């Protein structure tokens, strides 16, 4: 395996950092080398949050080079667009459809870009896009907040993702608070199923 680069982009409070840690922990369980990079502090206050996960024997640097992401895992449409710099035609953009309007919109009385607009922007970089209805699936799993686990499941089903789903689930079990474990595992499975089915259709 050469290396596998993932950029996770979301909003403070969505569990982006936790998801990145789960991937990293799963990679270590699988005996792989990994770097998980995050920015704390100011970013926590409802601001944009980005995590970089790089898996591979020779990986040293913390962040994914421009255009070199294998997967851009977008937890929110606007934040997905904001991080397209890491994408190129080889990148799979996997995006949660759930919007979180920034408060700037209310203050300026401006509008959130439409799904078509967001997709058009992504298509400038890559045609490989999967939209995940993570909020719906998380709700189905038992808790709207488990969207990050849905997205992790979706990521685990991506071709070439170098860590087995079992390792990701093990890491989830360890990192998610005990009382939320069942919901999150269900959410993970739902996310994984969706992408698998989607792939068959293609």
Nearest residue to 15 (alpha-carbon basis) of 169, 134, 142: 134
74 forms part of the interface with other proteins (CB under 8 A): no
CB 121 within 8 A of CB 102: no
Is 65 one of the binding residues for other proteins (CB under 8 A)? yes
Count of beta carbons in the 10 Å neighbourhood of residue 98:
19
d(CA 20, CA 22): 5
Per-residue mark of binding to other proteins, 113-152 (x: CB under 8 A): x-------x--xx---------------------------
- Binding residue for other proteins (CB under 8 A) from 63, 97, 143, 165? 63
Angle (CA) 72-150-166 rounded to 5° is 95
Q: Measured from the CB atom, is 101 or 196 closer to other proteins? A: 101
Provide the token pair at 171: 């890491």
Token pair 């949660």 in the structure block, residue: 96
Ranges within 167-196 binding other proteins (CB under 8 A): 174-175
Return the DSSP state at 75. Answer: S
Minimum CB separation from other proteins for residue 109, in Å? Answer: 7
Contact of 112 with 105, CB cutoff 8 Å: yes
User: Which listed residue (6, 27, 73, 195) binds other proteins by CB under 8 A?
Assistant: 27
Stretch that binds other proteins, among 90-98, 100-108, 133-141, 150-158 (CB under 8 A): 100-108
CB of 136 to other proteins, least distance (A): 16
Residue 32: how many CB atoms within 10 A of its CB? 18
Residues that bind other proteins (CB under 8 A): 11-12, 21, 24-25, 27-28, 31, 33-48, 58, 60-63, 65-68, 78-79, 81-82, 84-85, 88, 101-110, 112-113, 121, 124-125, 174-175
């Amino acid at each position: 395996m050469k290396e596998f680069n993932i950029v996770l982009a979301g909003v403070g409070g969505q569990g982006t950092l936790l998801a990145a840690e789960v991937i990293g922990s799963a990679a270590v369980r699988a005996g792989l080398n990994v770097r998980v990079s995050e920015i704390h502090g100011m970013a926590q206050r409802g601001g944009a949050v980005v995590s970089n996960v790089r898996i591979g024997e020779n990986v040293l640097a913390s962040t994914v080079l421009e255009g070199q992401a294998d997967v851009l895992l977008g937890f929110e449409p606007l934040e997905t667009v904001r991080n397209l710099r890491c994408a190129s035609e080889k990148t799979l953009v996997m995006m949660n459809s759930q919007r979180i309007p920034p408060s700037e919109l209310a203050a300026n009385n401006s509008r959130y870009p439409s799904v078509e607009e967001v997709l058009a922007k992504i298509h400038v970089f890559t045609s490989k896009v999967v939209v995940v209805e993570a909020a719906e699936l998380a709700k189905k799993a038992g808790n709207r907040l488990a969207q990050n686990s849905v997205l992790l499941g979706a990521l685990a089903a991506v071709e070439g993702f170098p860590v087995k789903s079992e390792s990701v689930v093990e890491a989830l079990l360890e990192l998610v608070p005990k009382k939320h474990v069942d919901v999150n595992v269900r959410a993970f499975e739902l996310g994984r199923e969706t992408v698998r089915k989607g792939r068959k259709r293609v």
